[in-house]
Chain A
Amino acid sequence: MISTVHRRSQLTAIAELRWRMFVNGLRSKRGKMELVSRVIVTAAFSFGGFGGFAAAAGTAWYVVSQGKAEYLALILWPIFFFWQVFPVMATAFTNNPDSGELLRFPLSYRSYFLIRLAYGYFDPASALGSVALFGVLLGTSVARPALFPWALLVLLTFALFNLVLMQTVFAWLERWLAQRRTREILGVLFILSMLSFQLIGPAIEHLGKGPHPEFSRAAQITAQIQAILPPGIAATAIAQTSHGKLALGSLSLVVLALLTAAIGLLLHLRLRAQFRGENLSEAAARPKIAHVQDVQVGWELPAFSPSVAAVFEKEVRYLARSGPMLLTLIMPVFMLVIFRMGPMNPMRQSGAFNRTPDMAFPGAAAYAILVLTNLVFNSFGGDAVGMQFFYASPVTFRQIVLAKNLTHAVILLFNTALAWIAVSYLYGTPHLAVSIATLAGLLFAVPLNFAAGNLLSLYSPRKRDFSTFGRQNVSQTTVLASFGVQIVIVALGIAGFVIARLYHNLWIATLLFLIFAVISIPIYVVVLNRIDGIALQRRETLLAELCRA
């Protein structure tokens, strides 16, 4: 048995460890760059957090002071979605060390569970979600000071629910993506859910034409359904109490707490298995008689050297075995569906996208570049000790990097094609001029992105485990720089389309993007030609960073 004192001592030690890791991370030269980057990233997040806080506080104050506290659901739903979806969409910003490494110590299961939750709380989504909830609390309390204690209790429970759900989703996704059979089932479920979403759009579109009584009935049903889901329950708990119905409010709170406990139970099942040393290896049982196996002949790429083909094959095999990475790569299609249901929905009367469905394809293509960030800007991260092999082998880094870029380009092309099909299905076939302009846009954006990514891969590498979801040690310098490059690319892309629209000729965008490409392609070539020198100059840092245990 582990005594309470011992447990407290362990938790203190782990907290100190996290602190020391943070402080020591700032000590090296890379640490200084990281410090600057972290300051900037923190400032950006603070700005976003403040915006969310202000919006949440203002809206909460308004609806509660109008005596319509049930409308708090309008704020709690976006917070809920942000909290759950952001960590999946933007894994680059997730910076949680693997708590599983602590299992070598005599840690009790309870401590392990708590540590896992605590690590999860340091996720940016959790931090920003909490800030927004604090805004809701402030707005509610200013409007109705007597509601403060109750709102605090409800919102704390809601925050805990979000935290536990996020950890549960991560833990189970990781489990399902770890093995081929469950990965395939998950893939089928994902496709089915995508197809199901398609039914919502036409249904709403149909109901939206004219003053259909079905529409108001559907809206009522939606309102009822949302009310029995966690954000709705939290809003109801506060609303009922604000209307003087404490018993109903309490019932809602109890339901929310029970839901949290139920989700917590699912998390417990997963973490318990991890704690007991679960092995998700897909290795087959050892056969009784060893046999000489035939080794498949490697791939060949026309027009590329055998070593480029070898690295390309290796990269593709790595990605194909990384469930989390595959999920990230299909996010553009997922985002199209979200937009279809959200701001791009023709039903909506406001919002920029509903007037420009033509921009769906360029938007999806831009997002396809964005989801490649982890791969392009930390292209050696997944190689870990394999980096030694690259340095020991008689192959230039120019070829290795070229092969990696080739892999990224193929994924991007695949994603873009998929996005084109999805856009055609969801919004209608993109106009030829838009399609060509988007491809021209990729022609300028991709080389620029790859050039910056190749440099950062060598200057700010971080070891990355392709088999785990989130829980990666990311470089803030890379996050910030990649973000900067992508902002420039998106800004130039938007500028191109805006100018073309001003002149009512989308071919102008194509022309502009081709001019940009004339600049960005030589930049890529120059960087690629200098890669060997940089790799040689940076070899100690790279090997130290990527080969560490």
Chain B
Amino acid sequence: MLFVHSPHGFAGYARFEDSMDLAPTISTQGLSRRFGELVAVDGVNLRVAPGQFFGFLGPNGAGKSTTIKMLTGLLAPSAGRIEILGIDLNAHPVEVKRQIGVVPEGMALFGRLTGAEFLSFAGRMYGLDRTTAAKRAAELLDFMQLADQPKKLVTDYSHGMQKKLALAAAVIHGPKVLFLDEPFEGVDAIAAGTLKSMLQGMIARGATIFLTSHVLEIVERLCSHVAIIHQGRLVAQGSLEELRAGVEAQTPAGSGNGAQASGEKLTLEQLFLRIVGGERRTEQELSWLG
């Protein structure tokens, strides 16, 4: 059971599935990060079980990217402990990095290499031998539909192509855990379809995926579990059903909320807004627009 709380009065419990009985693939204890006076991430305790497709959600500036950066070794925590696959990230960063794949916010690409050169480079950096790296690079380029312009430099790729290439580089060594920061941002439907198909294939083969995204529909469709961070604190964590049950349990009967009143399931967007208390400003504040 995990305590779920909200700055807007919601409080409840979300129950972990049986998979949490296994040793978690990703776990954090009291993970915090300060930037001067600002506490960007405040005592986050995350547990992601093996094989989960885990969505990490939160409003802008909530601490999602800061958390994923700490989980992947791109940022040092101010306090707390991170374990990936049971290995302490702080004590054994290289050992952890060998087993994970990362697509960070900036995509971590080398612009003045071709796609093939970059993938071959990435493979060797992750310990593959030269021949295997080249073979996998060719397969990935083909799968990602990036093989038709072999001389094109990465810097000349479209945004969607860069996302696909970044994902290809993150999986070339067959990682057990994949961290993706906004993988679908700025990606068209065709590219998104390719990415989703690859990610679902990885889950089917037993990998664990941790992603952040603002596109709640995609998270709802892909992820089995989610966590919501708000103002640096984890306010919900569990399967979608568990979150739904928790929110519904906290809502007084007959309060007249659309979906609930009509007996329909709350969507992830509704859950998210209920938990973080999203409020929309009226248009009159920008009356000069249009």
Contacts and interface: CB of A to CB of B under 8 A. Distances in A.
A317 B112 contact: yes
A540 B76 contact: yes
B124 A306 contact: yes
A490 to B, nearest CB: 32
B127 A394 contact: yes
B229 interface: no
Given A307-B124, A310-B121, A298 B130 contact: yes
Interface string B116-156: 11011110111101110111011001100101111111001
Given A297-B134, A385-B106, A291 B148 contact: yes
Nearest to B150: A293
Contacts of B74: 388, 391-392, 539, 543
Contacts of B119: 295
Contacts of B113: 314, 317-318
B142 A292 contact: yes
Interface string B94-109: 1101100010101111
Interface in B51-83: 72-76
Contact of B148 (A290, A300, A386, A467): A290
A101 interface: no
B111 interface: yes
Contact of B134 (A287, A298, A307, A383): A298
Contact of B117 (A286, A300, A306, A317): A317
Contacts of A295: 116, 119-120, 134-135, 137-138, 141
Interface string A388-424: 1101111110000000000000000000000000000
A283 B109 contact: no
A286 B122 contact: no
Nearest to A547: B106
A143 to B, nearest CB: 54
Interface string B273-285: 0000000000000
Contacts of B138: 292-295
Given A295-B116, A322-B112, A392-B97, A283 B73 contact: no
B76 A539 contact: yes
A366 interface: no
Interface string A297-328: 11110000011011101100110011000000
A385 B130 contact: no
A505 to B, nearest CB: 48
Nearest to B125: A393
A281 interface: yes
B110 interface: yes
A303 B120 CA distance: 20
A356 interface: no
Contacts of B109: 385-386, 389
Contacts of B126: 393-394
B130 A297 contact: yes
B147 A291 contact: yes
Interface string A33-67: 00000000000000000000000000000000000
A384 interface: yes
Contacts of A385: 106-109, 111
Nearest to A536: B76
Interface residues of B, number: 49
B149 A307 contact: no
A297 B112 CA distance: 18
Contacts of A382: 112
Contacts of B133: 297-298
A284 interface: yes
Nearest to A289: B148
A395 B173 CA distance: 14
B127 to A, nearest CB: 7
A282 B153 contact: yes
Contacts of B104: 388, 392
A474 to B, nearest CB: 19
A466 interface: yes
B66 to A, nearest CB: 11
A466 B141 contact: no
Contact of A284 (B102, B130, B147, B151): B151
Interface string B241-261: 000000000000000000000
A296 interface: yes
A151 to B, nearest CB: 48
Interface string B148-183: 111111001000000000000100000000000000
Nearest to A321: B112
B115 to A, nearest CB: 9
A314 B121 contact: yes
Contacts of B106: 385, 388, 547
Given A282-B153, A394-B98, A296 B73 contact: no
B116 A293 contact: yes
Given A297-B134, A540-B75, A310 B112 contact: no
B125 to A, nearest CB: 5
B110 A392 contact: no
Given A283-B152, A295-B137, A290 B147 contact: yes
Nearest to B97: A394
A255 B228 CA distance: 72
A306 B112 contact: no
A289 B130 CA distance: 28
Interface in A176-199: none
A340 to B, nearest CB: 35
B108 A388 contact: yes
Interface-centre pick from B95, B97, B102, B108 (highest chain A CB count, 10 A):
B108
Nearest to A320: B112
B110 A383 contact: yes
A388 B121 CA distance: 14
Given A296-B120, A298-B130, A282 B151 contact: yes
Nearest to B166: A389
A297 B117 CA distance: 9
Nearest to A319: B112
Nearest to B140: A295
Given A283-B153, A284-B152, A395-B125, A467 B112 contact: yes
B76 A386 contact: no
Contacts of A283: 149, 151-153, 156
Contacts of A281: 152-153, 156
A284 B127 contact: no
A219 to B, nearest CB: 49
Contacts of A383: 110
Instruction: Choose among A296, A314, A392 the residue with the greatest number of B CB atoms under 10 Å from its CB.
Output: A392
Closest 4 CB pairs of A and B: A388-B108, A290-B148, A310-B124, A389-B108
Given A388-B102, A394-B97, 15 more contacts: A283-B152, A286-B148, A290-B145, A291-B147, A292-B147, A297-B130, A297-B134, A298-B121, A306-B130, A310-B125, A311-B121, A385-B106, A388-B104, A392-B102, A394-B125
Interface of A: 281-284, 286-287, 289-300, 306-307, 309-311, 313-314, 317-318, 321-322, 382-389, 391-396, 466-467, 536, 539-540, 543, 547
20 contacts: A281-B153, A281-B156, A282-B156, A292-B142, A294-B134, A294-B138, A295-B134, A295-B137, A306-B129, A307-B124, A311-B125, A317-B112, A318-B110, A322-B112, A382-B112, A385-B107, A389-B125, A391-B73, A394-B126, A547-B106
